[in-house]
Amino acid sequence: MIVVEVCVGSSCFLRGSEGVVKAFQSLIEEKCPGQAVLKGSFCMGQCTTGVTVRIQDRYFSCVTPQDVSALFEKYILPNVR
């Protein structure tokens, strides 16, 4: 099971983490339901470069909803097939 955590701390929330969550959610439901789990996370300590996302043990900064598709294709999809 791939674990995807999106920071929903106050700074990342203001930077649009809700849209990032929705984008991951719809891709997971569409392409690999039940094989990846999406979680909200408290502050990951990288507020100045939010939205912060963690996929397994890897951190990503400045993530926007537009970035989600590329992250999904590169770091999630290859690991669920």
Interface contacts to ligand FES, rule CB under 6 A: 7, 9-12, 43-47, 50, 52
Residue with smaller CB distance to ligand FES, 47 or 77? 47
Report the alpha-carbon distance of residue 46 to residue 77 in Å, rounded: 26
Residue with smaller CB distance to ligand FES, 50 or 76? 50
Residue nearest to ligand FES (CB): 9
Backbone angles phi, psi at 58, to 5 degrees: -105, 135
Residue with smaller CB distance to ligand FES, 62 or 80? 62
